[in-house]
A and B are shown apart, each in its own frame.
Chain A
Amino acid sequence: MWVFRFVGLRLVQAVPVLLGISLVAFLAIHLVPGDPVRIMLQGRASDAAVAEIYARLGMDRPLLVQYARFVGRAVTGDLGTSIIQRAPVATIVGERLVPSSFLLVYATLLSVLIAVPLAVWAAARRNRLADHLIRLGGTVSFAMPSFWIGLILILGFGLTLKWFPIAGFGRGFGGHLHHLFLPALTIALFLAPLLIQSLRAAMLDAMTAEHVEVARAKGLSESRILFKYVLRAASIPVVTILAVNIGWLVSGSVIVESVFSVAGLGMLLVHAVSTRDYPVIQGLTLVFAVMVIGTNLLADLAYALIDKRVRAE
């Protein structure tokens, strides 16, 4: 099966990337000016306490040994212990991973559901009223900051209409869907305009391809040409846009998470950074890296499904 070979090859290629990121994550502590432990303890600590933490974290050993231990543990799922919460980083991150991933997938699906029909419509009716309205709406929606859209949605659908909860993660799959609808929509209102713009442009470009004229000369209807030939060819650049933005949203959804009080990775990151909880920051960096690599792998798979030439490479 080409899928296994394809995925296997991509995973092998991801190893050096992960190693590089782990090095950066590891060195982060040592690159920050000042004594990391004193900063963590906000200066109110005796020399003995500092030395004790150094020994506990193994930071008194040579760098290379520390790094080897860091990687060795990370591979087995041990990301160290949070200094502030005094709990394993893997557990803390794991708890937050579920709502964040759920929100991410939900928002992505919502964006695609919104963007594809509108982009197809805009492209089919290019330079007519529908096209202009869709593009204008997209620009407005894209230009509004997420926290603002979030607040408006809370006000409208949450407090006034009472259709959706305004905070939390909910219970069960249905509960998650219900609770995360507004935050997912907030992200989608930012992501969909990007997708609409790129898909519309790619479709207009694909429409000028000679094989589209050939298809028309065969007597195919415009809608068949649009969906079978144009949309397929145009979806490749859109997958790229989507992958880049999902990769960004992995850590960039913090505003949406805090507006809707979703206990996700973004909130954890902000908290960890503000308390200098370096083990958590390191653990999150690795988790984000894995998620971004995973997203890119999915994008590569999507390319291969859309265009078989990619498989042949």
Chain B
Amino acid sequence: MTMYLKQQLEDGVAAAAPVAGTGCRGVRWLAALTGDAQLDGSYCAALHVADATLAGQPARYIAVVPDPHNRFARVRNGEIGLLEGWQLARAVHEVIEADRDAAVKRPIVAVIDVASQAYGRTEEAYGIHQALAGAAGAYAEARLAGHPVIGLIVGSAMSGAFLAHGYQANRLIAFDDPKVMVHAMGKASAARITLRSVEALEQLAASVPPMAYDIRNYASLGLLWRVLSPADPDAPGAADLAMVRQSLEEALADIVASGRSDLAGRQNDGLRQASGKVRELLRQQWQGAAR
């Protein structure tokens, strides 16, 4: 894709009004991190894929961005739909294939600002769950094949969209910013499903950390590798960009030094003590059980 087209896309995105209000962050941070690298024009407009470098070695950067002209009406505000899920799968499988015989597997950076999965009849009918499985499975396979995968949360990381794009990363980095949100479901729907009012839900979320939508509560769960505080998360300046790039490089070094391709890196202290207890007990009882 030409730089002109890339610019046009960014203009088109800027003209749209994304629901979550942060939809342009993915576009901007991916563009800033990849510099002069061109977007791969073979992907749908909602997928920005660019091959650049990280710590001096080749790396693939991927973001899902708002596409106001998407032919699927429910996928115009930065959601992940059928095509986006399967195209993510393709973007990651391409890297696995290209490095199949390489001694050093190139890192993949998922720049995360995803409003949600697409909610629509067509999406359900054609199996959006399978499309998202395509994406999540591809990221997991890349990680297991030895590709360092880093998720950079710059905006929303919602529900199925986060599972498909980023949650399989070896390391997760997030911006400490009020517009950064991680959750399983939007407030109105969550209230309906749990038979509560939105007000009651908000009240509970204030005292039950995993129910909260903000990044500070999320950080308390122990799933993030690092939290960053850029001066302007909406417009990457030189100092912010340098800080983010340095953190990505440190995450990469940390993954390589750990020698692990699993998600053990996120089983930190935090509030997930019950998870640790379950795993410990399972391990104790596992060997004694019948084989």
A and B interact: no
Q: Which residues of B contact A (CB under 8 A)?
A: none
